[in-house]
Amino acid sequence: MPIDYSKWKDIEISDDEDDTHPNIDTPSLFRWRHQARVERMGEFEKKKSETKEGLELSQRELAERKKKLKDADDENEKKKLQADIDKLEGQLKDWETKEKELEKQEKLAPWNIDTICREGFSKTTVNKIAEKKKEMTEEERMEQTKVFMDKYKDEIEKFGFYSKWDDSKEYLLAHQHLVCEDTANYLTIWCVNLQMEEKTELMKQVAHQTIVMQYILQLAQTMEVPPIACVSSFFTKIQLCDDKYMEGFNNELNAFIGRITRRAKEKTDKLIAEYEEEERQKRLGPGGLDPQEVFEELPEELKQCFETKDIQMLQDVLMSMEPKEAEIWLKKCTDSGLWVPGANDTPDGDAVEGKEDEGASES
């Protein structure tokens, strides 16, 4: 079988293999050649490194903008985010094209003494039986989250009070179990409760730490590594970042605070409505009507009868009405407990004020 020598034809010969003129300082020439080649290789490696960093940065920023677009409520904000996404997608394509060009140049570059003897790759494989991870049900997942929150409640809240980047970084590195989705969920719930208690400034502080945790988790998801591996890199980046990156962080924080404020108001309104409904149910008369609502509907002359508790005035007013109209109002008064037939024959004016003893008439 013939041997193919073509792959060796582009090897760059050694620096000391050329014959030189007797008047030329040969060692200096060899050193100059080697230095020039090393510098060319260094510049090429620098281009590869810059391209890789630019590509990864574009991927992370694109993922962040897409997440913000998904959570955004304001139409103007959505348009701005979509414009950023289109721009980033164009930048990402440019970086990918540049990366392919560099890979092509690297393949076509001639071998030399510095590259031909370099280790191509090193790999050690240990066969291991992979453990099959059991899928948890929604109930099991909620129970696990509850156990985690109950166990680490104090530690999570302590993290929520930190305001300095370095303090937060050191605390998370010392409490690595907190770098997870459950911590972010606890902080979010805590923010809603603080806003409902009208502790707005404290809510904003905890919201800041919530976004810190969410950024770390998002970075880990993008890089496909455990969240704890991204703690140091996140805090280094956030402290050395440019204005645009910090602006993105602050925009995400303000949007989160807005969502927390709306959610807290919704929950507060719901609790107030439930309380008012409970109180209304307590007031309902034997026919299921609310005495306050019925009293507000009464004609002015009937209202005076219940306010003065004058049975004779009530009889006179009802007699002066059309029989059907009088019957309607009398039934409403009876069903709401404003009037209890046979109970001392006195209009129950106190029922309007929310008496606890339904149907009992004041004498």
Q: What is the pLDDT of residues 132-153, one digit of tens each?
A: 556 767 788 788 888 998 999 9
Which pLDDT score, from 0 to 100, does residue 362 have?
A: 36
* Amino acid at site 103: E
Global pTM value? 0.48
* Amino acid at site 255: A
* Eight-class DSSP state of 74: -
The rounded Cα 327 to chain-centroid distance in angstroms is 60
* Eight-class DSSP state of 227: G
Which pLDDT score, from 0 to 100, does residue 60 have?
A: 87
Helix (H), strand (E) at residue 58: helix 26-71
Give the span between the Cα atoms of 282 and 8, in whole angstroms.
95
Give the span between the Cα atoms of 290 and 128, in whole angstroms.
72
Give the span between the Cα atoms of 331 and 328, in whole angstroms.
5
Long-range contacts of 31-39 (CB under 8 A, 24+ apart): 37/12, 37/112, 37/114, 38/114
Two structure tokens written together for 331: 């039934």
Which pLDDT score, from 0 to 100, does residue 73 have?
A: 79
pLDDT per position in the chain (363 positions), as tens?
565 555 555 555 555 555 555 555 556 655 666 677 777 777 878 888 888 888 888 888 888 888 888 888 788 888 888 888 888 888 888 888 888 888 887 777 665 655 555 555 556 555 554 455 567 677 887 888 889 989 999 999 999 999 999 999 999 999 999 999 999 999 999 999 999 999 999 999 999 999 999 999 998 888 888 999 989 988 988 888 778 888 889 999 999 999 999 998 998 888 888 887 777 777 776 777 888 888 888 888 888 887 878 788 878 888 888 888 888 888 888 887 877 776 554 455 444 443 334 333 333
Which pLDDT score, from 0 to 100, does residue 1 have?
A: 52
Which pLDDT score, from 0 to 100, does residue 359 have?
A: 37
As a 3-state breakdown, the chain gives helix, strand, coil percent values, each rounded to 5, of: 70, 0, 30
Two structure tokens written together for 298: 């009464």
